[in-house]
Amino acid sequence: MKPWQLLALAAGVVGLFLLPLGLRNYGMYVAALWCVYVIAGMGLNLTVGYAGQISLGQAAFLGIGAYTAGLMAKAGVPFPLIVLASASLCFVIGLALGFPALRVQHHYLAFATLGFNMLCYLVFRNEEWLTGGTFGLNGIPRPDILGWPFTRTAEFYKLSVAVMLVLAALMAGLLRSPWGRAFAALRDNPIRAESVGINTTFYTLMAFAIGAAYAGVAGALFAPLVGLVEPASFSTATSLSMLLMVIVGGSGRFFGPAIGAVIVVLLPEWLRVAADWYLAIFGLAIVVMMVWLPGGLLSLPDRLARR
Amino acid sequence: MTDFLQLVISGTATGACYALAALGFTLLWQASGTINFALGEMIMLPAFTMLFFLGPAGLPLWAAFALTVVASLVVLGAGFKALVVDPLIRHGVIPLVIATLGLSIGFKNLVRVGYSAQVFTFPSIFPDELLDIGGLRVSGADIGTVVLALTVAAGVQTFLSRTLTGRAMQAVAQNRDAARVLGINAGRMVLYAFLINAALAALTALLVTPVYLAKFDMGDTLGLKAFYAAIIGGFNNSRGALLGGVIVGVLENLVGAYISPGYKEGVALVLFLLVIVFRPQGLLGRAEERKV
């Protein structure tokens, strides 16, 4: 990293923590929601952008994390344990979802993960004894950590930012390690990667499992933030917008999900009144973007520099 | 037993509609490697176009349908190919998947804000009476739908396998370069596939909207079912789409009645997942080879 980039990053982090000074309650809520989606998006970016395994099932993991967190929070389990449990459960299920990816590729994988999401949605909606059915789980309390309450939105926002930064740092470390190279090799040419001795089975499974675990943590934050966990939040439509989030920002770019989440989650939430028009234009803009700028918004500087 | 047969018959009618949509889907895949995630919206748009011609324009149903087919051919056939597919196809499958996802969101919300978010009824082309066949009570609409859908599907199948143009289209689907060497105008054959898909979408809209009702998000379920149908049947094979459609339609009815309405689509979904993992080419499809 160059010095100016480091400086910009530091300024960004300070800005994130100072944000509550300038926002009302609802603005803070939306900003915390942004953190949740950025975390899930980072996971998906690992699966899709770095390891090249398309996934249309990220919302299912967000849901599994959120339901786990909701149920455990109502049972009075401490928050750090909840986060750990949501992440581990998603890691294991993500590992299982990775197995189809060993057999099928590209568009078939897109279908398989989409089907998995549908199946999870049906379970969330129908297993009333566990998930509360269509009405979902409500009244999920916000946590206390070591006697420190995070019940106010401003406090919870800071907690979300902190979790997001820790996970981002972990992700950056992972991508700089030999694992990062192995994921890229898997994406660029799986057969060649195999022939130079990379265990493609292992890394494919890990790409799914780690991506899912990130969504699990996001879910564990989502449940207490919103206070209500209902199936509609985790339908395939959410998965599709998460994929769009990664692609719009720039898949395989570290800050892609952060930018993408602003456009896909933050703006529609803020522009409540004009949200439908926004979505109509957004949908058609995606088509235009795929034609003119397939690398996403963050590829714009490179593109301009090459001119 | 009578209940069972009635469920199978009405399931076949719904399945036949899924099959028509799925047929267009497989044709696009074969001709151009396009996976169309906006398939459901391409059924929703003609439904609303027909409503416009019927309501504000006051035309009879046949005229509304004819005009809609023309509009569909121009916009969803040729227009879709020229503006979306042609510029993206050389980048591979995934960018097109993303673009059609965007298209689906865009179309849905355009109709929602530009027209209406309400549910509209739609006239059926078949008489709305119950027929009594040997103790079975079957609706005329179900029989009409099955007959019409199967005739059209068989017609498309015959066109593909018996006529010179149809065989040329298949040649392009199998090996574009070899087809070109043999003097086939590959670009035109691909265009035909898009036009057939657009016409099938308009016809599907005519058949399903009386049952599903017209709403901006009606394409969500429809597109998904057509999708299951195409993949279960094998989506590099147009006969597969028919089989898949009927399987999905019938299973849905039987599961909804005998197991649990909540898991109505669950069994088709599980079948879909099993097919993808263990037989990705589908029940009737050929395996595709892996390229380095």
Q: How large a percentage of chain A has pLDDT more than 90?
A: 44
**Which of B91, B224, B276 faces A108 most closely, judged by CB atoms?**
B276
Flag if A103 and B273 touch (Cβ within 8 Å). Answer: no
- Give yes or no for A119 touching B (CB within 8 A): yes
Q: What is the CATH number of the domain that holds B121?
A: 1.10.3470
Return the pLDDT at A77.
92
Whether B286 shows a pLDDT value over 80: the answer reads: no
Q: Which residues of A207-220 are buried (b: 16+ CB within 10 A; e: fewer)?
A: bbbbbbbbbbbbbb
- Give yes or no for A280 touching B (CB within 8 A): yes
Q: Is residue B291 part of a domain?
A: no
- Range of the structural domain that residue B135 is part of: 2-278
* Alpha-helix residue ranges (DSSP H) falling in chain A: 3-18, 25-44, 58-74, 79-103, 106-126, 128-131, 153-176, 178-188, 190-195, 200-226, 236-249, 256-261, 267-270, 275-292, 300-306
Top-ranked range on mean pLDDT: pick from A131-135, A196-200, A215-219, B31-35: A215-219
Return the pLDDT at B287.
65
* Residue A106 with chain B: CB contacts under 8 Å: 93-94
Whether B29 shows a pLDDT value over 50: the answer reads: yes
Return the pLDDT at B291.
41
* Residue A119 with chain B: CB contacts under 8 Å: 266, 269-270, 273
Flag if A290 and B108 touch (Cβ within 8 Å). Answer: no
Return the pLDDT at A50.
92
Return the pLDDT at A267.
80
Find, in chain A, the residue whose alpha carbon is nearest to that of B292.
Answer: A191
Q: What is the mean pLDDT of residues B262-272?
A: 82
Q: Is residue B284 part of a domain?
A: no
Whether B105 shows a pLDDT value over 80: the answer reads: yes
Count of CB atoms situated within 10 Å of the CB of A163: 18
Of residues B92 and B78, the one with the higher pLDDT is: B78
pLDDT tens digits for B165-186?
Answer: 988 888 888 888 888 898 888 8
Q: Is residue B60 part of a domain?
A: yes
Whether A23 shows a pLDDT value over 80: the answer reads: no
SS3 content of chain B, % helix, strand, coil (to 5): 75, 5, 20
Q: Is residue B72 part of a domain?
A: yes
Mutation target to probe the B interface, by most B beta carbons within 10 A, among A54, A187, A286 is: A286
**Which of B105, B109, B269 faces A115 most closely, judged by CB atoms?**
B269
Return the pLDDT at A148.
80
Mutation target to probe the B interface, by most B beta carbons within 10 A, among A48, A56, A102, A111 is: A111
Distances, alpha carbon B110 to alpha carbons A21, A226, B42, B197, in Å: 37, 29, 13, 22
Top-ranked range on mean pLDDT: pick from B35-39, B125-129, B200-204, B216-220: B200-204
pLDDT tens digits for A105-125?
Answer: 777 788 888 889 999 999 999
Tokens 């997942």 correspond to: B273
Q: What is the mean pLDDT of residues B56-62?
A: 87
Name the least confident of A15-19, A49-53, A93-97.
Answer: A15-19
3-class secondary-structure state, position A75: coil
**Which of A115, A237, A283 faces B103 most closely, judged by CB atoms?**
A283
Count of CB atoms situated within 10 Å of the CB of A110: 23
Return the pLDDT at B292.
38
Whether B288 shows a pLDDT value over 70: the answer reads: no
Q: What is the mean pLDDT of residues A236-259?
A: 89
pLDDT tens digits for A151-193?
Answer: 888 889 999 999 999 999 999 999 999 999 999 998 888 889 8
Residues of chain B in Cβ contact (below 8 Å) with chain A: 35, 83-84, 87-88, 91, 93-99, 101-110, 112-114, 220, 224, 227, 231, 260, 262-263, 265-266, 269-270, 272-273, 276-278, 280, 290, 292
CA angle B232, B236, B239 (to 5 degrees): 70
Return the pLDDT at A161.
93
Q: Tell me the sheet residues that pair with B133.
A: B136
- Give yes or no for A183 touching B (CB within 8 A): no
* Residue A128 with chain B: CB contacts under 8 Å: none
Mutual angle of helices B238-258 and B140-162, in 10-degree steps: 160
**Which of A105, A106, A282 faces B105 most closely, judged by CB atoms?**
A282
Sign of the C-alpha dihedral computed for residues A50, A53, A59 and A63 taken in this order: negative
Tokens of A258: 């952060």
Whether A146 shows a pLDDT value over 70: the answer reads: yes
Return the pLDDT at B220.
85
Flag if A294 and B91 touch (Cβ within 8 Å). Answer: yes
Mutation target to probe the B interface, by most B beta carbons within 10 A, among A125, A290, A291, A293 is: A290
Q: Is residue B283 part of a domain?
A: no
Quote the minimal CA–CA distance from B277 to chain A in Å. Answer: 6
Whether B221 shows a pLDDT value over 90: the answer reads: no
Q: Is residue B286 part of a domain?
A: no
Find, in chain B, the residue whose alpha carbon is nearest to that of A245.
Answer: B98
Quote the minimal CA–CA distance from A305 to chain B in Å. Answer: 22
Return the pLDDT at A295.
80
Q: One-letter amino acid identity for A261? A: A
pLDDT tens digits for B119-132?
Answer: 998 888 887 777 77
Of residues B101 and B292, the one with the higher pLDDT is: B101
Return the pLDDT at A7.
87
Of residues A146 and A203, the one with the higher pLDDT is: A203
Q: Is residue B292 part of a domain?
A: no
Mutation target to probe the A interface, by most A beta carbons within 10 A, among B75, B89, B273 is: B273
Total domains present in chain B: 1
As a whole number of angstroms, the distance between CA B140 and CA A253 comes to 57
